[in-house]
Amino acid sequence: MGTFEAHGGVKKDFDFNVGLAEGDWDAKRFGDRLWADVARILEVSFEDSPGEPGDAGSHRYWFENDSISVSLYVDDGEPGWVFEKVPAMLTARSRSESVETWQLAEKLYDRLVAIGSYLVVVFADDGMPIDANFDIGDDW
C-alpha cells in the first residue's frame, strides 16, 4: 500500500476503522479511550465534546474548531469480515491552510499504530485501503 499523500487532494477524506488489538470489547469504554487518544495526538481538548449514546449501544463523538473537524462512531461492528475487528469509524479533516488532510491522517495513523493497542485500517475516499497494521486480505 502507498503513502497518504498520493491519495490526498481537495475535498479528499480518509476513513479510519479502528478496533482493539487485544482485550474484551466494550463500545463505550473503547470509544472514550480512542477519543482521548485522538485528542492527545491532535493536541486539542475534546473535554467539551464527550460521546453521546446512539442506537443499539453505539456511541457518537464530534469535535470541530478552525483547524480540524473530527468524528467518531463506535458500535459492535459487522460480523464475519474485516470490519468486525475494526468497528469504530473515525474521520479527521484539516480545516487549516497550513496542514493538508492527508498530513493530518498520516499523523493520526502513525501515532495510533505506535500506541500498540489498536488495529487500524485507513481507506481513501474511493473505498480502497491505504494502510493497515494487520492483514486485511486482498478482496477489495
**pLDDT tens figures, 11-65:** 668 899 999 999 988 999 999 999 999 999 999 998 888 889 888 889 999 999 9
38 in Cβ contact with 70 (< 8 Å)? yes
CB contact at 8 A, 67 and 103: no
Calpha distance 82→100 (Å, rounded): 28
Domains, the chain, ordered by start: 5-132 (3.60.90)
Q: Over 70: is that where the pLDDT of 139 sits?
A: no
pTM as predicted: 0.89
pLDDT tens-digit readout, 82-138: 778 899 999 999 998 888 999 999 999 999 999 999 999 999 888 889 999 999 877
**At 109, which helix (H) or strand (E)?**
helix 101-115
Note whether 16 and 125 are within 8 A (CB): no
Sign of the C-alpha dihedral, residues 9, 15, 100, 8?
negative
Q: What is the pLDDT of residue 81?
A: 66
